[in-house]
């Protein structure tokens, strides 16, 4: 079989308005929220709250919602607040599941009042809060948030207040936003320790880390599996465990969530990819602007904006590089032999 020297990333397939065409974010959101609710139920049961409203892992989310509306949630954990990070397809999928429960949305500025004055709020519904960058990020010099553009261009000029403004008033955090090492963490291990010391197991009960950036935005998070999706992190004792009745925050960080709903995910993926299959099969990628823009490498050479990967490959001494011709200025053409890869 001849070596395939083209690499195409389906996540880079976009239309003329730069909107992604082939994506699984929504389905990851569906599965992540369902898993998260399952974990929340296990956590409350482990703490001795065997109530009908959350003792129904096998029932549907809507059935659970009907029970919450009728019988209410445990007073010790009410009002129950769900905080969502990210505003893309993941968050959209998460909140479609969340809306199956009796709910009300509140703003970040109302979170503290919701938790500190529970008599003003109901335990017959849950409270959702969508958070944005400006809700918890401030510049280190001015103490204020500038603009998204300024933040993305100068992330090291900012620090996060998520651990003081939002996390202490959160029952369940559903994390679905983008993060890389340039950005401040959402919650560090030390910040989680402070939260746990002051919450008496009543807040930040669990985190559904759908983004699953290992030791990233959530410093204490690592990937888990579908068969074993949950672990607890006790930041006070700096230890992990699997006991639902134990101390700490439950973490779910399955990194292949769409596979938990394979039928819907596969149907969506097939519909999205179908219009481009002819060019993919015939090798006429250049005939499609969508496929051309999603091409990382062609004929053994990195394309367009992806040429910066040459520097990364050199820095990390990637073993798959079999031949490279490069100048110190990275200005001339480079040649790179690639193993057969097609990112779909």
Q: Residue 45: its pLDDT value, please?
A: 56
Distances from the Cα of 162 to the Cα of 38, 133, 177, 185, angstroms: 25, 10, 14, 9
pLDDT at site 30:
61
The strand pairing partners of 315, in sequence order, are: none
pLDDT, position 60: 67
CA distance readout (Å), 67 to 36, 48, 60, 76, 120: 18, 18, 11, 17, 21
Spatial distance between the Cα atoms of 33 and 28, rounded to a whole number of angstroms: 8
**Cα torsion at 213, 214, 218, 221 (round to 10°)?**
130
Residue with tokens 């973490």: 251
Environment class of residue 207 by beta-carbon count within 10 Å: exposed (0-12), middle (13-18) or buried (19+)?
buried
Structure confidence by residue, pLDDT tens digits, 123-161: 999 999 999 999 999 999 999 999 999 999 999 999 999
In a structure prediction context, what are the per-residue pLDDT tens digits for the chain, which is 344 residues long?
344 466 777 777 788 877 777 665 666 766 666 677 667 766 765 665 544 332 333 356 788 888 889 999 888 889 999 999 998 888 888 888 889 899 999 999 999 999 999 999 999 999 999 999 999 999 999 999 999 999 999 999 999 999 999 999 999 999 999 898 999 999 999 999 999 998 776 889 999 999 988 889 999 999 998 888 899 999 999 999 999 889 999 999 988 877 777 777 788 888 888 998 888 888 888 888 888 888 888 888 888 888 888 877 776 654 444 444 443 344 444 444 444 334 33
Placement of tokens 């367009």 in the chain: 304
What is residue 309's predicted lDDT score, i.e. its pLDDT?
81
Q: How confident is the model at residue 52, as a pLDDT?
A: 37
Q: Identify the pLDDT of residue 256.
A: 82
Helices 25-46 and 262-273 sit at what angle, rounded to 10 degrees? Answer: 160
Quote the pLDDT of residue 299: 82
Q: What would the two tokens of residue 314 be?
A: 């050199």
Q: Where are the domains of the chain?
A: 25-260
CATH of domain 25-260: 3.40.50.720
Cβ atoms of 115 and 169 within 8 Å: the answer is yes
């Amino acid at each position: 079989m001849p070596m395939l020297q083209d690499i195409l990333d389906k996540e880079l397939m976009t239309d003329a308005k730069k909107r992604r065409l082939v994506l699984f974010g929504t389905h990851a959101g569906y599965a992540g929220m369902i898993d998260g609710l399952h974990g929340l139920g296990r956590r409350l049961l482990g703490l001795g709250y065997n109530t009908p409203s959350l003792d129904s892992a096998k029932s549907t989310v809507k059935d659970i919602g009907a029970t919450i509306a009728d019988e209410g949630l445990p007073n010790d954990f009410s009002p129950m607040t769900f905080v969502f990070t990210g505003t893309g397809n993941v968050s959209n999928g998460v909140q479609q599941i969340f809306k199956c429960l009796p709910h009300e949305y509140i703003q970040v500025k109302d979170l503290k009042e919701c938790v500190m004055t529970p008599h003003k709020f109901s335990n017959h519904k849950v409270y959702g809060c969508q958070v944005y960058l400006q809700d918890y990020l401030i510049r280190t010099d001015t103490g204020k948030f500038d603009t998204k553009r300024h933040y993305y261009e100068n992330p090291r000029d900012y620090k996060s207040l998520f651990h003081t403004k939002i996390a202490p008033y959160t029952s369940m955090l559903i994390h679905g936003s983008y993060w890389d090492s340039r950005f401040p963490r959402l919650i560090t291990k030390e910040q989680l320790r402070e939260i746990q010391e002051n919450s008496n197991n009543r807040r930040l009960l669990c985190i559904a880390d759908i983004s699953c950036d290992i030791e990233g935005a959530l410093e204490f998070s690592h990937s888990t599996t579908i068969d074993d999706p949950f672990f607890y992190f006790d930041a006070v004792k700096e230890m992990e465990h699997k006991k639902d009745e134990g101390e700490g925050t439950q973490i779910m960080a399955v990194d292949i969530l769409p596979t938990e709903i394979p039928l819907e995910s596969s149907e969506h993926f097939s519909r999205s990819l179908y219009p481009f299959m002819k060019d993919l099969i015939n090798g006429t990628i250049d005939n499609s602007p969508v496929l051309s823009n999603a091409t990382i490498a062609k004929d053994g050479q990195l394309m367009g904006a992806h040429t910066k990967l040459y520097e990364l490959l050199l820095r990390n001494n990637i073993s798959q590089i079999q031949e490279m011709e490069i100048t110190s200025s990275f200005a001339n053409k480079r040649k790179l032999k690639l193993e057969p890869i097609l990112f779909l």
